[in-house]
Structure 1
Amino acid sequence: MILVTGATGNVGRHVVTQLLEAGEKVRAISRDPGTAGLPDGVEVLEGDLRRPETLPAALRDVDRAYLFPVHGALDDFLTAAGDEGVGRIVLLSSMAVNFEQTNDIARWHAECERSVRDSGLPWTFLRPGAFMANDLGWAGMIRHGGVVRAAYGDAASAPIDERDIAEVAVRALLDDGHVGEAYTLTGPASLTQTDRVRILGEVLGRELRFEELTPERAREEMAAFMPAGVAEVLVRLLASASGTTAEIEPAFERITGRAGGTYARWVARRAADFR
């Protein structure tokens, strides 16, 4: 039995689906199983990494687990996993841990990795950079006016399709050869924010435009729907990527034997979200 935490998230949903397609027995935990919307064939239990009393039942008969990085809430899970004899943890981490940990996001993920290492359980870490799914945050602006407003339009990243992250997670869950590895994952191309708006317009068949905001204005607008500290970190990350070319990491292609999905293909798959 494989347990998937964060099963309703951008990556977790695909981990569940791909494991079922591989013929595995899958259990998922959700705070509200009735609204999880997971596929037939997965056992869905009520559970929450912040509610330790729900974990022993979720982990019973589990031999491998995909772990979503809930900062400050992993130790109880890992203790229960050890007690139940779980033999492998695949942790969704972040590329941010590769760099100097000068912001909260990097520190949070580094602390999650440290907790897993210290547990003594066999582990694999997945360290993706930007998710293509992050751009769903633009969907409202695209539906209502076609103007994407943000700071640092020339900030480059190599965003990765969330299905590709899930594919590596599934391989790490099923293949012993990935134990003890930490994989940095990117998409196949360096794209600025303005590049991505252009591709969105081409695939959607619409005239879209990027409007440059000052960092101060962007920070204010982001803080309306996320903690101000996180907005500050994200604006600083955009500033550091301004005028650069993002490095393309080879891990995904090396592990899977194929190139990662393109941004245009991702937009085509998610086109309904932008219409």
Structure 2
Amino acid sequence: MARQRGILVIGATGTTGRQVVAQSLEAGAEVRATARDPGAAGLPGGVEVVRGDLTDPDSLRAPLDGVEAVFLLWPFATAEGMPAVLDAIATRARRVVYLSSAAVRDHERRIERMIERSGLEWTFLRPHAFAANTLRWAGRIRAEAVVREPYGAAAMPPLHERDLAAVAVRALLGDGHEGATYELTGPETLTQAEQAGVIGEVIGRPVRWEETSPEAARQRMLADGWPPGAVDGVLRAQAGMVAEPRAATATVEAVTGVPARTFRTWVTGHADRFRTP
């Protein structure tokens, strides 16, 4: 993989962004990361952490100085504000790797089209379900060794965040990824109930799946502070994956040369999150 100077990671303090930072450093890149509060970012040594806020595009101009490639995570549910951010990026960088999603929601589609028209070299990452999504079950598993959710038969190939980041780093630092759209999954399709079973096997405590109604799940998620649109989108996607299970892709291995990590591997690395202290 060719070494490339000046990588900016926008969204560096999230699960995926932290992996992009770490793996870019391991690859020998000079890495800069934005954070609203650089002092609280908790990123590894070797990365330059600077203040930057997507809601204030002018705050990105200094972080973009000397940057050649940008990893862009857009955390908002609309594309409002993206044109100004892209203008800031395009005046300094030449390449952007955008973390979209397999769902390609309306605002994500709009952002992809904006990037295509920006004049930047671009790569789109469209991950399917993340293995880390199962952390929402962790509290109940620790307390009762049970998962109470709807759509236990919803089947998907959970993706390890390290594999998503590995593809992102290839696209940031190497050539041959311009204009590519990568559909990213883990290597095996598992139902949600099967995922709960794997967690139980890894932690040495059987975990039971208890089917609940979609409406009960919706009310609980709303009470937990989820936006209504996000709740409905998640439940709609899960219902769809009961009728049409999502198939695994081989994209991670095709891009990185290494097979995608299994869900069991992910659980093993996060087992303490599910174990009772």
- Into which bin does the TM-score normalised by the smaller protein fall? over 0.9
- 1:19-42 C-alpha deviation (Å, 9 max, x unpaired): 101111000000111111100000
Q: Is the 8 A contact 1:168 1:256 kept in 2?
A: yes
User: Could you tell me which residue of structure 1 aligns to residue 84 of structure 2?
Assistant: 76
Q: Which runs of 5+ in 1 are unaligned?
A: 98-105
The Cα shift of 1:147 comes to: 1.1
**2:43 maps to which of 38, 42, 47:** 38
Measured in 2, the distance between the counterparts of 1:258 and 1:82 equals 32
The Cα shift of 1:244 comes to: 3.8
- 1:88-108 C-alpha deviation (Å, 9 max, x unpaired): 0000011112xxxxxxxx112
Where 1:223 maps in the other structure, the secondary structure is helix
Where 2:217 maps in the other structure, the secondary structure is helix
Indicate the larger mover: 253-262 or 191-200.
Answer: 253-262
The Cα shift of 1:120 comes to: 1.7
1:93 aligns with 2:92: no
Measured in 2, the distance between the counterparts of 1:52 and 1:44 equals 17
1:49 aligns with 2:59: no
User: Could you tell me which residue of structure 2 aligns to residue 205 of structure 1?
Assistant: 204
User: Could you tell me which residue of structure 2 aligns to residue 258 of structure 1?
Assistant: 258
Q: Is the 8 A contact 2:96 2:120 kept in 1?
A: yes
The Cα shift of 1:259 comes to: 1.4
Please, what TM-score do these two structures have when normalized by structure 1?
0.94
Where 1:12 maps in the other structure, the secondary structure is helix
Q: Is the 8 A contact 1:187 1:262 kept in 2?
A: yes
Counting only pairs closer than 5 Å after superposition, residues 94-173 of structure 1 correspond to structure 2 as: 94-97=101-104, 106-173=105-172
The Cα shift of 1:245 comes to: 3.1
Q: Which runs of 5+ in 2 are unaligned?
A: 1-5
1:242 aligns with 2:242: yes
Measured in 1, the distance between the counterparts of 2:64 and 2:241 equals 41
Percent identity of equivalent pairs: 48
Measured in 1, the distance between the counterparts of 2:176 and 2:81 equals 28
Q: Is the 8 A contact 2:58 2:88 kept in 1?
A: no
Measured in 1, the distance between the counterparts of 2:184 and 2:64 equals 28
The Cα shift of 1:70 comes to: 3.4
Q: Is the 8 A contact 1:142 1:148 kept in 2?
A: yes
Amino acid at match of 1:242: V
The Cα shift of 1:271 comes to: 1.2
User: Could you tell me which residue of structure 1 aligns to residue 27 of structure 2?
Assistant: 22
Measured in 2, the distance between the counterparts of 1:212 and 1:42 equals 45
Measured in 1, the distance between the counterparts of 2:246 and 2:82 equals 31
Measured in 1, the distance between the counterparts of 2:236 and 2:21 equals 34
Q: Is the 8 A contact 1:200 1:264 kept in 2?
A: yes
Please, what TM-score do these two structures have when normalized by structure 2?
0.93
Measured in 2, the distance between the counterparts of 1:22 and 1:254 equals 19
Amino acid at match of 1:197: A
User: Could you tell me which residue of structure 2 aligns to residue 103 of structure 1?
Assistant: none
Which stretches of structure 1, 4 residues or more, deviate above 4 A after TM superposition? none
The Cα shift of 1:243 comes to: 4.7
Q: Is the 8 A contact 1:52 1:76 kept in 2?
A: yes
The Cα shift of 1:219 comes to: 1.0
Measured in 1, the distance between the counterparts of 2:186 and 2:128 equals 8
Amino acid at match of 1:220: Q
- 1:59-99 C-alpha deviation (Å, 9 max, x unpaired): 11111110002342322221011222x110000011112xx
